[in-house]
Structure 1
Amino acid sequence: MKKDNVVREKSFRFAARVVRLYQHLRIAKKEFVLSKQLLKSGTSIGANVREADNAETKADFIHKMRVAQKEADETMYWLELLRATDYLSENEFCSIHEDTSELLKLVRSIILSAKTRQKRMAA
């Protein structure tokens, strides 16, 4: 991993956490549908952040980070649904939901900063 890239590191650790939660839901809870959706969106955040690192233009970077933002928001949806249907306990939910929220805020902040820099360069 690249050094000093907080969002890249956090999104990778988050993806690993999502994979472990997916495994737990499948094995312990026998839940196969919602957990698969969570797996897809939760691991996609980091994949899109990594793609953004290799963006060809500032606009491409912003686009890929926006996709990561959408995936983080979708992940929150699946977590909320898993909690509402009692597949996640309150403690399990709060812990990973907080991580998701932090990651979402970080991605949004990066997008806003990139847009601001892009506007300054265009002016």
Structure 2
Amino acid sequence: MSTEDGPRTAPAYPTNGLDDTVHQRHRLGILTIAAESERVEVAYLRGALELTAGNLSRHLTVLEEANLIQVEKGYHGRRPRTWIRITQEGRRALLAEITALQELLRRHGRTAPDAETG
């Protein structure tokens, strides 16, 4: 883009605001579920997101290493349990992701394309 005064910088495209760590669908699911409550049990996440224990563990490790969640181990009665909590940094990252997705929706409309036009 340019103007009579010289080149004009276009605003960054919304997809530039997507974070690959957060955007991956299972990790996005983990963060959104965790943001809805104080803490969430890992067994619940595994069922809700239809993940194997190993696959979920890997996603939790990525999020924990990025400081987006905290993992808490303990017991419920005599049974060992693992819970996660979203961190403040995780909340900020989730909000940034949602904001970028909302901007994409705004740019491209909220309705499906007309079936007749393709």
- After TM superposition, the score normalised by the length of structure 2 is 0.34
Q: Structure 1 or 2: larger strand share?
A: 2
More helix by share: 1
